[in-house]
Amino acid sequence: MAKGRPRSFCPEKALEAAIEVFRRQGYDGASLCDLTAAMGINPPSLYAAFGNKEQLYRSAVEHYAAQIADRRAKALAKPKLRDAIDALMQYGVEMLTEGERNAGCLLARSAYGCDVTAGKAWSDVRVRRASATREIEDRLEQAKADGELPSDADTTSLAAFLTAVLEGMSGHAAAGADRKALEGIAHQALKVFPALGES
């Protein structure tokens, strides 16, 4: 008879471990063997707790997105737009260099590397990514209403630009860029953002 989950099994810790595998290897590259080894459980336990690989991935995306959404919201809540964007960039740097992670952002990696045949998993990534960009655009719209941006500022393009910078930083982190390199990118993002230039 196959053994069930060990007493020490913690769904949240197992999910965190799965997230790291997906971050490093992508959806297609993460094998069941890789996932169960990292999570410290056997296949029956994985299926019982999370379902199949696609369902596990969807749970991973949901958990990961919730974590970074809280940090993104805190950054964008800064009263001054420059401080908010600076905090957003720094949050990106910190997220990508925490501990031994340095594997890039799960959502960014998935947006460019997830097999579209992954069905609802792929749809989840697109929804989460679009939601994050909308949050940035909403903050830029607020800044425009407050007079921190010109009335004709294209907030949609500016939000897309900032999203692209964050996703680009993720790619560099996954390729081995260190914190100093990522901070340099973040600094340049502020410099090329005209309305937020140094006074």
Question: Can you give the residue range of the structural domain that contains 93?
Answer: 65-194
Distance between CA atoms of 148 and 158, rounded to whole angstroms? 14
Domain at 173, CATH number:
1.10.357.10
Distance between CA atoms of 4 and 47, rounded to whole angstroms? 11
Distance of CA 56 to the CA centre of its chain: 17
Residue 158 lies inside a defined structural domain of this protein: yes
Which pLDDT band holds residue 44 (cuts at 50, 70, 90)? Answer: very high
pTM summary value = 0.81
Q: Do 34 and 57 meet the contact criterion of CB atoms below 8 Å apart?
A: no
Residue 2 lies inside a defined structural domain of this protein: no
Q: Do 169 and 93 meet the contact criterion of CB atoms below 8 Å apart?
A: yes
Please count the other Cβ atoms lying within 10 Å of the Cβ belonging to residue 25: 16
Per-residue pLDDT tens digits for 151-193: 998 999 999 999 999 989 988 888 888 899 999 999 998 886 6
Residue 76 lies inside a defined structural domain of this protein: yes
Q: What average pLDDT does range 116-123 have in this prediction? A: 65
Residue 39 lies inside a defined structural domain of this protein: no
Q: Considering its fold, how many domains does the chain have in total?
A: 1
User: Helix 32-39 to helix 43-50 angle, to the nearest 10 degrees?
Assistant: 80
**Residue 25: what pLDDT?**
83
Residue 98 lies inside a defined structural domain of this protein: yes
Angle at 166 between CA 160 and CA 170, to 5 degrees: 135
Distance between CA atoms of 165 and 102, rounded to whole angstroms? 16
Question: Does position 195 have pLDDT exceeding 60, yes or no?
Answer: no
**Residue 95: what pLDDT?**
85
Residue 157 lies inside a defined structural domain of this protein: yes
Q: Which one, of 102, 123, 120, lies nearest residue 53 by Cα?
A: 120
